[in-house]
A and B are shown apart, each in its own frame.
Chain A
Amino acid sequence: DAGVIQSPRHEVTEMGQEVTLRCKPISGHDYLFWYRQTMMRGLELLIYFNNNVPIDDSGMPEDRFSAKMPNASFSTLKIQPSEPRDSAVYFCASSSTSGGATDTQYFGPGTRLTVL
């Protein structure tokens, strides 16, 4: 299995630009999570989906952030407009309930976002 795939791995953009991060979960996994990690705040859950449906978006910092999951194999996290304080590493993770629990989350390699 290829694991969770994220693209791009690095993104440098200017303030005010739109940024789109992409994620392909592990095949067969029915949960997908988007996290943001910074030195100051650690790993924060932004939003998660179950069977492509957003379940909890309470971690999305503001309306500039949006996420979609149009099918079981693809999700996007969009920031529009981007700001320097959005600079962080964004991780996508997926998990499966096939074992009766959603505990083990498998993380992608992350996207390091820098907003100038």
Chain B
Amino acid sequence: QKEVEQNSGPLSVPEGAIASLNCTYSDRGSQSFFWYRQYSGKSPELIMSIYSNGDKEDGRFTAQLNKASQYVSLLIRDSQPSDSATYLCAVNKNTDKLIFGTGTRLQVFP
């Protein structure tokens, strides 16, 4: 079992819709959770972090964490073609390093 699992996609959504990206993790001791966005040919960039159960909103992005179910998700409202990228889920087990999932490719079509 991988430590951090994501559906590779592609997830295709129409412009203006809500995109829902999901991630599960195996270690119950995980403390911090992150979503990175990576455009093709570019480096990952942090878009959201979440540490407590519940929702955290930042503009069009909402991160959701459920530690009991070992599940973290990212919702993108009013999806735009510019949101088309690979989204990487990362988990910190209270150490200095992050464990990344393999990413979900999102395609937003006009």
Contact = CB atoms under 8 A, between A and B. Distances in A.
A41 B100 CA distance: 10
B101 A45 contact: no
B100 A43 contact: yes
A91 B100 CA distance: 13
B100 to A, nearest CB: 4
B49 interface: yes
Contacts of A105: 46, 98
Interface string A99-116: 001111111111000000
Sorting the interface of chain A by its residue count into under 10, 10 to 19, 20 to 34 or 35 or more gives 20 to 34
Interface string A2-39: 00000000000000000000000000000101000000
- Name the interface size band of chain B: 10 to 19
A48 B70 CA distance: 26
B97 A103 contact: no
Contacts, number: 45
Contact of A56 (B42, B43, B97, B99): B97
B57 interface: no
B88 A43 contact: yes
B43 A103 contact: no
B16 interface: no
Given A104-B46, A107-B45, A110-B43, A48 B97 contact: yes
16 contacts: A41-B102, A43-B100, A45-B99, A45-B100, A50-B96, A56-B96, A56-B97, A91-B43, A101-B32, A103-B34, A103-B49, A103-B98, A107-B44, A107-B45, A109-B43, A110-B43
